[in-house]
Amino acid sequence: MVQEPRRDEPLYSCIVPVESVTGNQEEELIAFGTSASAASSQAEQMLADNYGCNNEQIKKLMQLARIEYLSPWCLRGFDNC
């Protein structure tokens, strides 16, 4: 279960290209967490649950993943961005 981060918590995204799984060159999975490791864990879980990836596929895809820190002022909608 994903919880919405509090305003004072950091937010990270983990972006994983899933072209090798879906065949769609521009498709990416994006997971979020309050730490880089939480975002990565969420992405790994989504790869297993949503795409049916096994451990080896997940490991290879996570090597291609990138972690980004999201500014807190962009958390509450686009009116502040």
* pTM of the complete model: 0.79
Closest CA to 37 of 65, 56, 18: 65
Per-residue pLDDT of the chain (81 residues; tens, 9 = 90+): 455 556 667 899 999 999 999 999 999 999 999 999 999 999 999 999 999 999 999 999 999 999 999 866 555 554 444
Instruction: Count other Cβ atoms within 10 Å, centred on residue 47.
Output: 24
- Ramachandran angles phi, psi of 51, nearest 5°: -115, -5
CB 76 within 8 Å of CB 11? no
CA–CA separation, 63 and 49 (whole Å):
19
Q: Quote the pLDDT of residue 29.
A: 97
